[in-house]
Every structure is written in C-alpha cells, then in structure tokens.
Amino acid sequence: MGLSPRFTTCLWFDSQAEDAAAFYISIFQNSKIVNTSRYGEAGQEIHGKTPGSVLTVEFELDGFRFIALNGGPHFQFSEAVSLVVNCETQAEVDYYWEKLTADANPNAQQCGWLKDRFGVSWQVVPEVVTALLALPPSPAQERVMNAIFDMKKIDIAALEAAYAG
C-alpha cells in the first residue's frame, strides 16, 4: 500500500459525494475515482445513513487528491474556501467556466469566482491576471482591477485592453 499524499482536500456534501466526484472528473483531464467507501451498521445512531450507502469517494483531479464525504446537511460550502483553476488561454477559461457553471446559479459569479451546482466555490483565473496584479501600483493596474470588478468570467482581451488604456 503506497503512501497517500500529505494533503488531501475533503469536501463535505449532504448526500451528493458520488455525483460531485463524477461531475468533477468529467471536466478535468487526468482524473479518476480512486476509491469509494460505504457506511456500515456501526455508528448508525450518529450518522443516520443507510448501511451500504456511500460514505466517501476518493478522487483525483489532474493528480490532486480529494475526498468527497457524504456527511449530512450539517455544513454548507461558502466562498471562504475556493478551488482555483489556473488557465493559460481564454479557451481554457471558457471551457472550465462553461463546465463548472452548468446547472449552477448564475448570480453566484463575480470576478472569476463561481459556485458550481453543488455549492463549491471555484476561481477560474488566467495567468495574466496574476501577472498584471503583481505589477507595481499604477493607473494601468487600477484599470485592470476595475475591469475585473465588472466581470463575471474573466476576459483576457478586455484586461489587456484595460491595461493598455
């Protein structure tokens, strides 16, 4: 048995762990379900889940390990934690944005942030954003920031135009 990665992100779902994992691996290349565990009789008075129902789904997205846990309705996702998808091109931004927002709330989107159909927050960020925001403060950088605040999905050409003035 090999050593697990030192860090694994655990996502707490009510009962959608299996659906969420399948959704995510359908979007990202080099992704797979690693393991599925099921509830047994033990602890049923605490967790209330039917024996045999899915407890966790361990999966990888492009080599990064996640666990989707069916833990019940006790906790909800919030924007305080988000998963960042770094993109090189507008085509990548468009692809991930379209896939992750499928059947999601369009009002839960701003500045490259979105919530998917399961309530998980994502940031779809072109690398140019990081580069432009790392520049010293200037009128050009202010224009870029103002342009980002007006966007839902990030538009690279619009940011470059804002930077150029």
pLDDT tens, position by position, 73-83: 999 999 999 99
For residue 13, which of 52, 60, 53 has the smallest C-alpha distance? 53
- Residue ending a domain, among 76, 99, 126, is 76
- Encode pLDDT of 89-108 as tens digits: 999 999 999 999 999 988 88
Residue 114 near residue 97, CB atoms below 8 Å: yes
Place of tokens 């990665």: 5
Do 29 and 3 belong to one domain? yes
Lateral strand order in the sheet of 54-61: 9-13, 64-70, 54-61, 32-38
pLDDT band at 44 (very low <50, low <70, confident <90, very high): confident
What mean pLDDT is reported for the chain?
93
What local confidence, expressed as pLDDT, does residue 145 receive?
93
In the predicted structure, residue 88 carries a pLDDT above the cut 90? yes
Q: Which domain holds residue 124?
A: 77-165
Residue 146 to residues 64, 84, 90, 136, 141, Cα–Cα distance (Å): 33, 21, 19, 16, 9
What local confidence, expressed as pLDDT, does residue 29 receive?
94
What local confidence, expressed as pLDDT, does residue 45 receive?
77
Torsions phi, psi for 137 (to 5 deg): -55, 135
Q: What is the mean pLDDT of residues 52-73?
A: 95
Query: Helix, strand or coil for residue 22?
Result: helix
Measured between alpha carbons, how far is 159 from 127 in angstroms, rounded to an integer? 12
Do 93 and 164 belong to one domain? yes
Do 87 and 154 belong to one domain? yes
Query: Helix, strand or coil for residue 104?
Result: coil
What local confidence, expressed as pLDDT, does residue 1 receive?
55
In the predicted structure, residue 157 carries a pLDDT above the cut 80? yes
Do 66 and 87 belong to one domain? no
What local confidence, expressed as pLDDT, does residue 49 receive?
83
What local confidence, expressed as pLDDT, does residue 2 receive?
62
Do 61 and 83 belong to one domain? no
